[in-house]
Amino acid sequence: MSLNKKTVDDINAKGKRVLVRCDFNVPLKDGVITDETRIVAALPTIKKLIADGGKVILCSHLGKVKNGPNEGESLAPVAKRLSEKLGKEVVFVSDYHVTGEEATKAVANMKDGDVVLLQNTRFRGAEETKNGEEFSKELADLADIYVCDAFGSSHRAHASVAGVTKFIRAKGGENVVGYLMEKEINFLGNAVENPVRPFVAILGGAKVADKLNVISNLLEKCDTLIIGGGMAYTFLKAQGAEVGTSLVDDTKLDYCKEMLAKADKLGKKLLLPIDTVVASAFPNPIDAEIPVETVDCDHIPADKLGLDIGPKTAELYADAVKSAKTVVWNGPMGVFENPILAKGTIAVAKALAETDATTIIGGGDSAAAVNTLGYGDKMTHISTGGGASLEFLEGKELPGVMAADDK
């Protein structure tokens, strides 16, 4: 699949103010970045624009910013790490207003090839997340050209992803996508549009409501759909099984029944767990040493909840992966943060690492699981976006892609 949108290769950045929306939403612990994947992934576009002599103005959100602007969600640590990675100064605009006097001055002082990072765009609250016109225009006022390279946020129709493009276009500026966007869309697009078969899709994790919606579309594309993690129990319950206190979305039971029927009708395999590791309660803290037992899925005790796939399921899933030529994986098979409940996720990650299939991992937690287990470099592509990659696989149009100029 080739992306029919203008990219950074189609612009002349020399001497121009280029606003680049990145996804620098990195995990932080006590102010320290614990995973720099998203910063590293943004470097090719930034380096290209520096080399071309553009004035590179970066922006991003960080975290959910539920309680207003605060130092804990400032992009300051990102500015520092980015500066180390680029080997050059990154001027950080610490102003919680994001745009405004400090930002305008910093941009006015830029020379060709300089880099400025604006403060967390979510510090503007609903103006950012509701795609506010004023904030969109203020962002556009800072630049001549806009580049969206925030794949992980490209499913959000926010001011810094979508709204800004309208105002750039209104003054005759170009809106393009960066190298990371291009790479992600090409990998994910090819995987679902022209997959080398058998094509196996694996879904797990806890965002049941979000992820169930992708199933209908994936069933049409894949040969085998594997369900694990928290979303398996809604399916098991839809089949009439007792699932105890496991994670279930009761509003999706009919949908799951429809999906089981759809798989049948299309002649696709839809694999569900046959055994599961259960406990009396969700571990707290998450890595607590809790007593567990393994039961068959038709024997889940009413007062227990499933927290990992069992060994028989792990073997079944690993077998399905072995013969695959394309595998897309989103969401862990269990509560992998706890070593006692990580075995199912490890088994699937290992099966993916050992196959010669094209393997594509989407989702922060799936990527973290694969990297922690040391299998990162065995995968063909690890996506920087969880929600974004799923919405793309669902067949939805991503606002961050839509907003760019057509080629």
Ligand X SMILES: Nc1ncnc2c1ncn2[C@@H]1O[C@H](COP(=O)(O)OP(=O)(O)O)[C@@H](O)[C@H]1O
Per CB under 6 A, which of residues 381..400 are in contact with ligand X? 386
Q: H or E segment at 372?
A: helix 364-372
For residue 23, the partner it binds in ligand X15, ligand X, none, with Cβ less than 5 to 8 A by kind, is ligand X15
Should residue 337 be labelled a site residue for ligand X when binding is judged by CB under 6 A? yes
Looking at the Cβ atoms of 152 and 244, the one nearer to ligand X15 is 152
Q: Which stretch binds ligand X (CB under 6 A): 91-99, 261-269, 315-323, 328-336?
A: 328-336
For residue 335, the partner it binds in ligand X, ligand X15, none, with Cβ less than 5 to 8 A by kind, is ligand X
Q: Is 364 a catalytic residue?
A: yes
**Where do we find the tokens 């994936």?**
218
**Where do we find the tokens 């003054």?**
171
Q: Is 331 a catalytic residue?
A: no
First to last CA, the chain: 14
Rg (CA), the chain: 22
Q: Is 229 exposed, middle or buried (0-12, 13-18, 19+ CB in 10 A)?
A: buried
CA distance 200 to 152: 23
Catalytically annotated residue among 178, 386, 387, 400? 387
DSSP state of 221: H
Q: What angle (nearest 5°) sits at the alpha carbon of residue 285, between those of residues 283 and 287?
A: 70
Looking at the Cβ atoms of 147 and 208, the one nearer to ligand X is 208
Closest residue to ligand X15: CB criterion? 386
The answer to the question of whether 83 is labelled as a binding residue is no
Q: Is 17 a catalytic residue?
A: no
For residue 247, the partner it binds in ligand X, ligand X15, none, with Cβ less than 5 to 8 A by kind, is ligand X
Per CB under 6 A, which of residues 147..176 are in contact with ligand X15? 152-153, 156
The residue within the footprint of ligand X15, chosen from 364, 370, 392, 404 (CB under 6 A), is 364
CA distance 331 to 224: 16
The answer to the question of whether 407 is labelled as a binding residue is no
Binding-residue total with ligand X15 (CB under 6 A): 10
CA distance 176 to 407: 9
CA distance 365 to 323: 25
Where would I find the H helices in 87-177?
101-108, 126-129, 133-141, 164-170
For residue 25, the partner it binds in ligand X, ligand X15, none, with Cβ less than 5 to 8 A by kind, is ligand X15
Should residue 229 be labelled a site residue for ligand X15 when binding is judged by CB under 6 A? no
Count of Cβ atoms closer than 10 Å to residue 397 Cβ = 10
Q: Which stretch binds ligand X15 (CB under 6 A): 93-101, 183-191, 316-324, 384-392?
A: 384-392
Which residues touch 374 (CB under 8 Å, ≥6 apart)? Answer: none
Looking at the Cβ atoms of 112 and 249, the one nearer to ligand X is 249
Phi, psi of 104 (to 5 degrees): -60, -45
Catalytically annotated residue among 207, 237, 252, 343? 207
The answer to the question of whether 63 is labelled as a binding residue is yes
Residue closest to 141 by CA, chosen among 112, 82, 100:
100
How near is the Cβ of 65 to ligand X15 at its closest, in Å? Answer: 9
CA distance 228 to 265: 22
The residue within the footprint of ligand X, chosen from 54, 152, 163, 229 (CB under 6 A), is 229
CA distance 356 to 90: 41
Residue closest to 14 by CA, chosen among 167, 144, 166, 164:
144
Should residue 128 be labelled a site residue for ligand X15 when binding is judged by CB under 6 A? no
The residue within the footprint of ligand X15, chosen from 195, 228, 385, 400 (CB under 6 A), is 385
The residue within the footprint of ligand X15, chosen from 10, 15, 64, 261 (CB under 6 A), is 64
Amino acid at 342: A
Catalytic residues: 38, 207, 364, 387
Binding-site annotation, residues:
23-25, 38, 61-64, 122, 156, 211, 306, 337, 363-366
The footprint of ligand X15 (CB under 6 A) covers 23, 25, 64, 152-153, 156, 364, 385-387
* Residues of each annotated binding site for (2R)-3-phosphoglycerate: 38, 122, 156
